[in-house]
Amino acid sequence: MSTIAQLRRILKENHTIAVVGLSADWFRPSYFAAKYMQEHGFRIIPVNPKYDEILGEKCYPDLKSIPGKIDIVDVFRKPQDCVPIARDAVEIGAKVLWLQIGVINDEAVQVAEAAGLDVVMDRCVKIEYARLFGGLGWFGVNTKVISARRPV
């Protein structure tokens, strides 16, 4: 489990986030988490083979295709997809593997930690950043839509 001090250090020292599974759909949690972090000074690099661009950034099909350094690999994928992502995060020299809320995979954690990466699991980067550093506006996830149904 990550402590407040560890989360604070991770979010202070690392500013380039590759978001694996980032969706271009505004109502998806990955989109508003990435948008929030982008609006708070983080460089967002989308990783999703379905898109060419998200949030004004070139989208890559996988982590290994990204030129340049990645600090945090933020994972919005099913838990069973995480081990290969953890291996790729190690291979590209990322510093942190961050598994979003509900993304729990102990084997992926072991792979990343064995290679010296910091690991955060079952937490949201946006929620933790807002909680630890505050800032102006948009703390919640208000989509201004009150419905249990997906938008058409």
pLDDT digits over 111-139, tens only?
A: 999 999 999 999 999 999 998 987 555 55
Confidence band for 22, pLDDT divided at 50, 70 and 90: very high
Q: For position 1, what pLDDT does the model report?
A: 55
Expressed in percent and rounded to 5, the helix, strand and coil fractions of the chain are 35, 20, 45
pTM of the model: 0.88
Please tell me the number of Cα atoms within 13 Å of 89 on its side-chain side.
34
User: What pLDDT, on the 0 to 100 scale, is given for residue 149?
Assistant: 59
pLDDT value at residue 131: 87
Q: What is the pLDDT of residues 60-113, one digit of tens each?
A: 999 999 999 999 999 999 999 999 999 999 999 999 999 999 999 999 999 999
Give SS3 for 108.
Answer: helix
- Going along the chain from its start, the domains and CATH numbers come out as 4-133 (3.40.50.720)
At residue 151, the pLDDT reads 56
54 pLDDT tier (thresholds 50, 70, 90): very high
Beta strand 118-121 with 96-99 is parallel
Using CB atoms within 10 Å of the CB of residue 124, give its burial: 0 to 12 exposed, 13 to 18 middle, 19+ buried.
buried
Residue 150 pLDDT? 58
pLDDT at 18: 98
